Homo-oligomer: A and B are copies of this chain.
Amino acid sequence: MQSQSTPEQRNATPSTMHTSPMEAGRQRQGRLWSNLKEVCDLLHITPAVSVNSEELLFQHVQFKTGQRVHTIGQAFDTLYIVNSGFLKTVLIDEFGNEQVLSFPMKGDMLGVDGIHTRHYASEAVALSDCDLILLPFKKLTALGRVHAELENVMYGVMSRELVREQAMIGMLGALSAEARVARFLVSLADRFAAMGYSSKLFNLRMTRHEIGSYLGLTLETVSRTLSAFNEIGLITVDQRTIGIKDADALKTLRRLPPSRSRAKQASAKQKAEVDQSGDDQILATA
Contacts and interface: CB of A to CB of B under 8 A. Distances in A.
Interface string A24-47: 000000000000000000000000
A91 B173 CA distance: 11
A210 to B, nearest CB: 12
A274 interface: no
B91 A159 contact: no
Interface in A79-123: 91, 93, 97, 99, 101, 112-117, 121-122
B159 A99 contact: no
Interface string A160-198: 111101111110111000000000000000000000000
B113 A162 contact: yes
A188 B129 CA distance: 42
A173 B216 contact: yes
A211 to B, nearest CB: 12
A263 interface: no
A165 B116 CA distance: 13
A148 interface: yes
A158 interface: yes
Interface stretch (A50-58, A60-68, A149-157): A149-157
A267 interface: no
Contacts of A93: 170, 174
B163 A162 contact: no
A144 B151 CA distance: 9
Interface in A254-282: none
A1 B163 CA distance: 24
Contacts of A117: 163
24 contacts: A97-B174, A99-B170, A101-B166, A101-B170, A112-B159, A115-B158, A116-B156, A116-B162, A121-B163, A121-B166, A144-B144, A144-B148, A145-B148, A154-B155, A158-B159, A165-B165, A165-B166, A168-B169, A169-B169, A169-B172, A172-B173, A172-B216, A173-B213, A173-B215
Given A93-B174, A99-B169, A173-B215, 15 more contacts: A101-B170, A112-B162, A113-B163, A115-B155, A117-B163, A121-B166, A122-B166, A141-B148, A141-B155, A145-B148, A162-B162, A165-B165, A168-B169, A173-B214, A174-B216
Interface of A: 91, 93, 97, 99, 101, 112-117, 121-122, 141, 144-145, 148, 151-152, 154-156, 158-163, 165-170, 172-174, 213-216
Q: Top 5 A-B pairs ranked by shortest CB distance?
A: A115-B159, A173-B216, A116-B159, A172-B172, A165-B165
